[in-house]
A = this chain, B = another copy of it.
Amino acid sequence: MRSVLLTLCLVLSAAATMTAQERPPQLGDQIDREALLDLISRDRLRAHHDLAAGVPHPAGSPADQKLSAQFAGLFRDFGAEVEVHEIWPCLAFPKKASLSLTSPLKLELDLQEKALSEDPDSRHPELGIGWNAYSASGAAEGQVVYANQGRKEDFEELRKLGVDCRGKIVIARYGGNYRGFKWKFAEEAGAIGLVIYTDPADTGWRRGLSWPEGGWANGTSIQRGSILTLPYAGDPLTPGTCASRDARRLDTETVDFPRIPVQPIGWTAAQEILGRMRGEQVPNAWQGGLPFRYRLTGGSELEVRVEVQQERRLAKTFNIVATIPAREKKAPYVVFGSHHDAWTFGAGDPAAGVMTVLEAARVFGAAAKRGWRPEVGLVFALWGAEEHGIIGSTEWVESREAELKERCLAYVNLDMAAMGMNLRASSSPSLKDVLARAAAALPAPRDPKRTLLQTWRARSQDKDDASLPRTGVLGGGSDHVAFLARCGVACAAISAGGSRGSSYHSNYDGLSWYRQIVGDDYRSGELVTRMVVSLAWEFATRPQGVLRPERQGAATGRHLAALRQKARDRELLVDADLLGRFRRVEAQFARFGEEMRRLRESRMEASESEENAAAKARALAQFDRAWLDESGLPTRPWYRNLYAAPDEDSGYAAWMLPALRRAVEKGRAADLAVELNRLEQTLERLTEARKAYEKLLPPAPKTSN
């Protein structure tokens, strides 16, 4: 059992000087990328991890507040300037819950993970039941309907099959969409309660051995998680403004919170319900991994009662934002961040990211202590209340939008980053090159004759350019959202995966699980921190060479072509004018990309020279801002970025060119013209950005002909 005293010792050891035994390398006179990389210490990463995942600390809890203060102290010790950003969002807190069969027998189902002798963390006294934050409070009792993953199409299928959800308790498995949409569609279909469970088709024996023998879920593992499904990120009561203590707030009655009780469970409990259902069998794609045929309905013999009691109230939580200041006071900056709040211990989510943020800050802080100054500010942020609804980062962004648009070059998210040895990233197009360059400067962790870039690219290549590794696209789901959607900041998310297991949002997400499954050697944390330090070094030393707006041309062209094909398949492009316009916009984006590429190539030296470095970097960032449209996305005005947003029907995937995509998905031919028009305006803004950038370069040399 991890005592408070033990935790305190760990904190002290992390925050204070290291013991002699650990012998951390010292920074010498030469401050360069190699010297900084050499400073990264796996012992330190472990100590950061001990601190960040030692106790359960959900947002708004006393442990969360105490930990925030400890992080601030640690950052200060590292030599950074620290802002402790206090916010007062509306958070949810569990009070009690129960789930039981009431017919054909009385049977109370377990709502908490089994405490295991092999896993001391699992026996921590502050651990509680599984819950979905912002569930309605109340009780519901009735017959059961199985709704597969509770996606829009699953409820449509139920309707087609003649299954009535009205007055029923819906049971749905995790997966296929963001969990918030499950209650949304269930409620629309008339359900009075929702039970969400983890199906072994997606984890457990289908993937490997269960915890504690292996890393995958066992029958009692429960996935906690927020079920907010609002058309904006952040505090539910203060969209668009910071949730400061005295902020103006929405009336909670006007906010679209869940109106039915929602309870997550593990499959051992779910089996007690699913295994007793007696209705028609499910379509094959709905069959999960439990050893019986799944049914659509439970029948009248089977009744279930679910009761959830939660409190929703304003609560204090913190963003802790540490800066290694640039040489110049008003220089641009880059932000690296991970949230710090966790449903339980959060050894994986988020502390596998927190430790890399802390260690990168420590390394650059050590340089700053010796007087070194980056060309741009290096900001290391630990956000609060991400789990409740990406709250901390959003409120921070909302408190300084104008300044961010002016100065923020990029945001790099590190949520849950060190979970294995296979590096991957999602990224805005303009950051693809610098990610590759940062990886090219590092040896591959298990193959030192090759670079990290080579092994990464060997796993998968970029679609447009085989010299780059493949990077995913960014939608919603973590702390980059407000940067991207509100301020048009180029974003990336870096992580390393490939470990055999998942303790996601469960009581098993502790240090025991992490060290047994991801590894006790902290090589994953080291890998990610090296990547972060290498990337930060690029920003710190050559900010004028980081952002590559020409990448937007090819990427946008590809997204447009895919949407044009989809629109044709749906017969939305029968109007030859519209089709012609579609092709014209595609061609314009291609031309923009090509012009930018030529500009860079012909004036390489000028663009890369140190002259006006900060101004050039700021000017390059304006290309990403060009995607912002103040009127926002249809039905989601909070989202202003026309380049990317979360999928509006599942919250699961990224939608590229989301306003245009919506017109295609919803089959609105009239909206297509409107949205193509907005993209043409975006192109005009991109052209403005190009002109402004060109002005910063010395006059082009005259060429013959």
Contacts and interface: CB of A to CB of B under 8 A. Distances in A.
Contacts of A204: 293
Contact of A289 (B209, B281, B291, B294): B291
A284 B293 CA distance: 22
A294 B200 CA distance: 14
A291 B268 CA distance: 11
A207 B284 CA distance: 6
Interface in A162-220: 200, 204-210, 214
A290 interface: yes
Interface string A271-304: 0000000000100100101111110000000000
A281 B214 contact: yes
A671 B214 CA distance: 49
Contact of A208 (B214, B281, B289): B281
The interface residues of chain A, by DSSP majority, are classed as loop
Given A205-B287, A206-B284, A209-B281, 9 more contacts: A200-B291, A205-B293, A205-B294, A206-B287, A207-B284, A208-B293, A209-B293, A289-B291, A290-B291
Task: For the complex of A and B, list the 6 residue pairs with the smallest distance between their C-beta atoms, beginning with the closest.
Answer: A205-B293, A291-B291, A209-B293, A205-B292, A209-B281, A206-B287
Contacts of A281: 208-209, 214
Interface residues of A, number: 18
B210 A293 contact: yes
Nearest to A204: B293
A291 B294 CA distance: 14
A287 B281 CA distance: 24
15 contacts: A200-B291, A204-B293, A205-B287, A205-B291, A205-B292, A205-B293, A206-B287, A207-B284, A208-B284, A208-B293, A209-B293, A214-B293, A289-B291, A290-B291, A291-B291
Nearest to A292: B205
- How many copies, total? 2
A618 B498 CA distance: 64
A606 to B, nearest CB: 49
A281 B501 CA distance: 14
Contacts of A287: 205-206
A214 B284 CA distance: 14
Interface in A121-146: none
A155 to B, nearest CB: 23
Contacts of A206: 284, 287
Nearest to A280: B209
A513 to B, nearest CB: 17
A210 B209 CA distance: 28
- Which of A205, A207, A210, A292 counts the most chain B CB atoms within 10 A? A205
A118 to B, nearest CB: 16
Contacts of A209: 281, 293
A110 B292 CA distance: 20
A285 to B, nearest CB: 11
A595 to B, nearest CB: 42
- Which of A200, A204, A208, A293 counts the most chain B CB atoms within 10 A? A293
A291 to B, nearest CB: 4
A281 B214 CA distance: 10
A289 B204 CA distance: 12
A210 B281 CA distance: 11
Contacts of A200: 291
A281 B290 CA distance: 19
A55 B291 CA distance: 33
Nearest to A294: B205
A208 B293 CA distance: 6
A214 B292 CA distance: 12
A268 to B, nearest CB: 11
Contacts of A214: 281, 293
A34 B297 CA distance: 48
A213 to B, nearest CB: 8
A214 to B, nearest CB: 7
A208 B281 CA distance: 7
A209 B293 CA distance: 6
Nearest to A271: B291
A336 to B, nearest CB: 35
Nearest to A207: B284
Nearest to A205: B293
A271 B287 CA distance: 20
Nearest to A284: B207
A534 B613 CA distance: 83
A583 to B, nearest CB: 31
A564 to B, nearest CB: 28
A205 B210 CA distance: 22
A210 to B, nearest CB: 7
A292 to B, nearest CB: 5
Contacts of A210: 293
Interface in A367-388: none
A208 B284 CA distance: 7
Nearest to A289: B291
- Which of A209, A214, A291 counts the most chain B CB atoms within 10 A? A291
A292 B209 CA distance: 8
